[in-house]
Homo-oligomer: A and B are copies of this chain.
Amino acid sequence: MPLVPYVPEEEATGEVRAVYDEILASRGLTRVPNFWRAIAHDPAYLRAEWEKLKAVMAERLLDRRTKEIIAVAVSATNNCDYCLHSHTDNLRAMGMTDAELVELLAVVDFFNGSNAVASGLKVDYEPPVSEGGPGPAAG
């Protein structure tokens, strides 16, 4: 159960109504997702958050799928159930398979682990000294 009631679509007016309509239109949804209905108690924040999502997720230099992958990586690190469901659903709709999803999480695993060691031992970074180009990341 959420800590605030969801602002119902039929009661939405003004800025909330306007954002709800944009959300519905942007994806052909027939219902506004609960995240937006929860934050709609603060219309100025609702608007700013929606504008930021559009700006951030728009394909400019990185493609949409990569951005959904980043969303899952961050949400797994933070252990956010809602966001994990939402963004794995998005990736599923783009065709991501079970094997790809686990391969994604394997990378999330490795870096959550090695982050704690690199920070925990206070390892100094030095740029790689090599003869060649990029290869397997060495930590």
A residues bordering B, Cβ < 8 Å?
1-5, 23, 26-36, 38-42, 44-45, 47-49, 51-58, 60-62, 64, 66-90, 93-94, 97-139
Chain B residues within an 8 Å CB radius of A29: 128-131, 138
Chain B residues within an 8 Å CB radius of A80: 79, 115, 118-119
Chain B residues within an 8 Å CB radius of A27: 128, 130, 132, 134-136, 138
Question: With contacts A1-B124, A66-B69 known, what are 14 further pairs, Cβ within 8 A?
Answer: A3-B84, A3-B85, A34-B126, A35-B118, A49-B52, A54-B136, A56-B109, A57-B107, A61-B97, A62-B103, A69-B69, A82-B139, A84-B122, A105-B117
Contact A30 B105 (CB under 8 A): no
Contact of A138 (CB < 8 Å), options: B35, B47, B107: B35
Contact B125 A116 (CB under 8 A): no
Chain B residues within an 8 Å CB radius of A131: 28-30
Q: Which of A36, A99, A112, A128 has the most CB of B within 10 A?
A: A112
Q: What 9 A-B pairs are tightest by C-beta distance, nearest first?
A: A76-B120, A113-B113, A35-B139, A28-B132, A27-B135, A48-B55, A80-B115, A82-B118, A45-B106
